[in-house]
């Protein structure tokens, strides 16, 4: 992987535990600017915790996360909310909240006591809803949306934050195939057209390999290996990290490696 | 029209505003009726003219010295507890949360009973100014909510856990209250038991004044703090990732709700369920809007307690049944209804 690309985020020797259980163990990871980084790994490997730690939702025991060479521990919550957006794994909002109300919440980190809401906020909300195709359902209530619509509304909320970095924690988990593709194509567009730095946690290794610029395998609270999907999708590495033996072939449509797991290793 | 103008219009007109105005009208009628009704009926137009500075001397005396403090106290206490309930239901994202369920009402009551027990002399007279009573209530209320919070520990974001610990703390506070009532010398002991059940009939002007001195500033601070309630509607991870310091904000809102409750309970006693019903009904009537929700909750809380007080004066006179018993009789089935409905929808 070409490390000459400037790292917007640099995770440095980050250690984090819940009680006696070590979740992240002196983990280090550069996250290149303007690329899509996908975190993958077996259940409980610490990838979601890592994602949340990048947004400072967990306090590490040691180590730091640098954002443009600045320790995020020194930023206040709203300042960080203007620079890193995060879509939670299973976000929830009141059922009777409208889509527009939800998206407007994305402007919260930009609001201050004395100047609550301005033209810039309206523009950001409008752009976020247009970009995710939820503009025509702005008055719909959250409880009346389908899974795919709901996910787009939440992504619109994160987009309205206008952050350069967007983290998404398993954004396609509860979606059917068509909506999985919709969602990841949307994320790719945000990256390619707007140059946003994207960090994704994905369970599906083949989707990970298709959309990642940098693919990161997390195991036992450490980065096992990272690199371009072509370099990462090796049967020996997958067997070691995911505990399955797998055949790797090149997807004839996207020319990306895909893996066909065939038994527990 | 700009989005801002749309937002402003949505806040100020439409069904929410009409509902607020309708409830405001009920509030005014009930207020005047509450002042007018008593051993002698004073017509509403006379009440109005007295309130506007006119009227005969006897009418002025009855209205201003005897009736008004009682009705005002019911309105203020009901409104304050409902306001506290609104804040608690929003911050816990649970419509079962209320000052009563979370142990705050009984904590405040315990604070007052301890205060009366400690600062009474042998002739059952208070040895310190009565103005300290809200402070005792506040200490009790904040101790109760702090204990609920500490017991819930890492799961303080789980409304159900908070409610379960709240119910437990309320039971302990109630038991301790009973013990101190039995063993302590209590100032105005005869009144204490009735006060505990929520009674506004003995309140005088100076106590109304103390209530307002405590509640107005707390209410204003709570109104300002409530501006951050919308992001807190989201789950913990989402609200924190848009920059709200939810753990701290949650504690601030709990403390403000405890103070509002204490200000009401200090003189009006343990009025149950107002803080549960009023904000819930407000939400049914005006939806999610924050300003309309707060105003509606306060109005409904005032209406419920004034209505309960009026009802007991009509139905039980000359017996003075505590207003809190009426609110509890209406409130308990309402609570059960919410509980069962929640059960059937959320599993």
Q: Give me the DSSP letters along B241-277.
A: HTT--HHHHHHHHHHHHHHHHHHHHHHH----SHHHH
Residue B284 confidence (pLDDT) above 70 = yes
β-pair type (A7-18, A21-32)? antiparallel
The minimum CA-CA distance between A163 and chain B, rounded to whole Å, is 10
Residues of chain A contacting B243 with CB distance shorter than 8 Å: 77-82, 108-109
Does residue A113 form part of some domain?
A: yes
Say if residues A108 and B242 touch (Cβ distance below 8 Å). yes
pLDDT bin (cut points 50, 70, 90) of residue A129 is very high
Q: What is the mean pLDDT of residues B106-132?
A: 82
Within 8 A by CB and 6+ apart from B248, the residues are: none
Does residue A89 form part of some domain?
A: no
Question: Could you give phi then psi for residue B159, rounded to 5 degrees?
Answer: -60, -40
- pLDDT at residue B155, rounded to an integer: 78
User: How many structural domains compose chain A?
Assistant: 2
Say if residues A35 and A188 touch (Cβ distance below 8 Å). no
- pLDDT at residue B347, rounded to an integer: 30
Q: Are residues A172 and A150 in the same domain?
A: no
User: How many structural domains compose chain B?
Assistant: 1
Q: Are residues A70 and A143 in the same domain?
A: no
* Inter-chain touch A105–B241, beta carbons under 8 Å: no
- pLDDT at residue A200, rounded to an integer: 96
Q: From the DSSP assignment, how many helices (H) and strands (E) are in chain A?
A: 9, 12
Closest-CA residue of A relative to B8 is A117
Q: Are residues A180 and A236 in the same domain?
A: yes
* Inter-chain touch B242–A109, beta carbons under 8 Å: yes
Does residue A140 form part of some domain?
A: yes
Q: Counting beta carbons within 10 angstroms of the beta carbon of residue B127, is it exposed (0 to 12), middle (13 to 18) or buried (19 or more)?
A: exposed
Residues B8-66: tens digit of each pLDDT: 555 555 788 889 999 999 999 999 999 888 778 888 888 888 888 888 888 888 888 88
Report the alpha-carbon distance of residue A106 to residue B140 in Å, rounded: 38
Within 8 A by CB and 6+ apart from B149, the residues are: B156, B162, B251, B254
Does residue A158 form part of some domain?
A: yes
Closest-CA residue of A relative to B245 is A77
Alpha-carbon dihedral angle through residues B105, B108, B109, B114, given to the nearest 10 degrees: 160
pLDDT bin (cut points 50, 70, 90) of residue B345 is very low
pLDDT bin (cut points 50, 70, 90) of residue B166 is very high
Say if residues B218 and B148 touch (Cβ distance below 8 Å). no
Within 8 A by CB and 6+ apart from A15, the residues are: A22, A24, A25, A26, A27, A60, A61, A62, A63
Residue B241 contacts A, CB cutoff 8 Å? yes
Report the alpha-carbon distance of residue B209 to residue A26 in Å, rounded: 60
Q: Are residues A68 and A170 in the same domain?
A: yes
- pLDDT at residue A190, rounded to an integer: 92
β-pair type (A36-40, A244-250)? unpaired
Q: Are residues A255 and A179 in the same domain?
A: yes
Share of chain B above pLDDT 70, in %: 90
Q: Are residues A77 and A182 in the same domain?
A: yes
Residues of chain B contacting A84 with CB distance shorter than 8 Å: 241
- This model of the complex carries an ipTM of 0.90
SS3 A18: strand
Residue B345 contacts A, CB cutoff 8 Å? no
CATH number at residue B103: 1.10.3470.10
Report the alpha-carbon distance of residue B144 to residue B159 in Å, rounded: 16
The tokens describing B4, both together, are 């801002």
Residues A158-190: tens digit of each pLDDT: 999 999 999 999 999 888 899 899 999 999 999
* Inter-chain touch B245–A77, beta carbons under 8 Å: yes
Residue B4 contacts A, CB cutoff 8 Å? yes
Q: Are residues A66 and A144 in the same domain?
A: no
- Counting Cα atoms < 13 Å in the Cβ hemisphere of B265 gives 38
Lowest mean pLDDT among A229-243, B181-195, B204-218: B181-195
Residue A74 contacts B, CB cutoff 8 Å? no
Residues of chain B contacting A52 with CB distance shorter than 8 Å: 237
- Across all residues in chain B, what is the average pLDDT? 86
Say if residues B119 and B259 touch (Cβ distance below 8 Å). no
Does residue A88 form part of some domain?
A: no
Residue B244 contacts A, CB cutoff 8 Å? yes
Its domain, for residue A48, covers 7-83+163-264
Considering A162, A186, A203, which residue would you say is the last residue of a domain?
A: A162
Its domain, for residue B231, covers 3-346
Angle between helices B68-92 and B274-286 (to 10 degrees): 70
Residue to mutate among B14, B225, B237, B345, with most A CBs inside 10 A, is B237
What's the sign of the alpha-carbon dihedral B35, B39, B40, B41?
A: positive
Size of interface A-B (CB pairs under 8 A): 71
Q: Are residues A135 and A188 in the same domain?
A: no
Longest CA pairwise span in chain A (Å): 61
Q: Are residues A144 and A102 in the same domain?
A: yes
* Inter-chain touch A108–B243, beta carbons under 8 Å: yes
Considering A162, A189, A217, which residue would you say is the last residue of a domain?
A: A162
β-pair type (A84-87, A165-169)? parallel
CATH number at residue A254: 3.40.50.300
Residues of chain B contacting A91 with CB distance shorter than 8 Å: 234-235, 237-238
Residues of chain A contacting B346 with CB distance shorter than 8 Å: none
């Amino acid at each position: 992987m070409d490390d000459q690309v400037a790292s917007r985020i640099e995770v440095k020797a980050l250690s984090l535990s819940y009680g006696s259980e070590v979740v992240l163990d002196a983990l280090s990871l550069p996250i290149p600017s303007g690329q899509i980084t996908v975190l993958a790994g077996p259940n409980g490997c610490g990838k979601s915790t890592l994602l949340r730690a990048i947004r400072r939702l967990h306090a590490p025991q040691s180590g730091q996360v640098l954002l443009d060479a600045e320790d995020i521990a020194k930023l206040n919550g709203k300042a960080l909310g203007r620079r890193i957006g995060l879509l939670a794994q299973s976000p929830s909002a009141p059922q009777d909240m409208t889509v527009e109300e939800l998206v407007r919440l994305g402007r919260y980190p930009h609001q201050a006591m004395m100047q609550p809401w301005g033209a810039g906020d309206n523009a950001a909300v409008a752009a976020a809803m247009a970009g995710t195709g939820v503009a025509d359902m702005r008055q719909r209530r959250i409880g009346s949306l389908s899974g795919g619509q709901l996910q787009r509304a939440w992504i619109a909320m994160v987009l309205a934050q206008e952050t350069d970095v967007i983290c998404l924690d398993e954004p396609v988990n509860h979606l059917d195939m068509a909506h999985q593709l919709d969602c990841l194509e949307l994320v790719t567009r945000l990256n390619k057209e707007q140059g946003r730095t994207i960090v994704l946690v994905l369970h599906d290794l083949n989707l990970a390999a298709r959309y990642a610029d940098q693919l990161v395998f997390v195991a036992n609270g450490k980065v096992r290996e990272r690199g371009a999907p072509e370099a990462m999708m090796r049967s020996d590495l997958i067997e070691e990290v995911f505990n399955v033996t797998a055949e790797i072939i090149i997807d004839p449509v996207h020319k990306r490696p895909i893996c066909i797991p065939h038994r527990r290793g | 029209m700009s989005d801002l103008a749309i937002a402003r219009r949505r806040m100020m007109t439409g069904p929410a505003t009409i509902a607020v105005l309708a409830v405001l009208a009920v509030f005014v009628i009930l207020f005047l009726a509450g002042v007018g009704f008593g051993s002698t009926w004073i017509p509403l137009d006379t009440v109005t003219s007295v309130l506007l500075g006119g009227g005969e001397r006897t009418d002025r005396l009855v209205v201003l010295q005897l009736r008004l403090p009682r009705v005002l106290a019911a309105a203020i206490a009901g409104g304050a507890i409902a306001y506290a309930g609104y804040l608690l239901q929003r911050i816990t994202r649970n419509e079962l949360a209320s000052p009563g369920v979370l142990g705050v009402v009984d904590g405040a009551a315990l604070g007052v009973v301890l205060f009366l027990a400690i600062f009474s002399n042998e002739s059952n007279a208070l040895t310190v100014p009565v103005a300290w009573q809200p402070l005792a209530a506040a200490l009790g209320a904040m101790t109760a909510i702090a204990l609920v919070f500490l017991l819930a520990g890492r799961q303080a974001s789980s409304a159900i856990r908070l409610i379960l610990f709240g119910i437990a703390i309320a039971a302990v506070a109630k038991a301790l209250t009973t013990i101190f009532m039995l063993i302590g010398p209590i100032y105005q002991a005869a009144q204490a038991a009735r006060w505990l059940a929520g009674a506004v009939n003995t309140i005088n002007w100076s106590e109304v004044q103390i209530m307002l001195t405590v509640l107005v500033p707390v209410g204003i601070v709570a109104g300002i703090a409530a501006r951050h309630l919308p992001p807190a509607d989201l789950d913990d991870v989402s609200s924190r990732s848009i920059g709200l310091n939810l753990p701290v904000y949650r504690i601030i809102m709990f403390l403000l709700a405890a103070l509002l409750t204490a200000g009401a309970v200090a003189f009006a006693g343990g009025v149950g369920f107002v803080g549960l019903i009023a904000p819930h009904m407000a939400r049914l009537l005006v939806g999610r809007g924050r300003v309309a929700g707060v105003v509606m909750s306060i109005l409904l809380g005032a209406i419920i307690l004034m209505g309960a007080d009026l009802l007991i004066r009509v139905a039980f006179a000359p017996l003075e049944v505590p207003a809190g018993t009426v609110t509890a009789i209406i409130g308990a089935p309402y609570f059960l209804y919410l509980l069962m409905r929640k059960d059937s929808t959320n599993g």
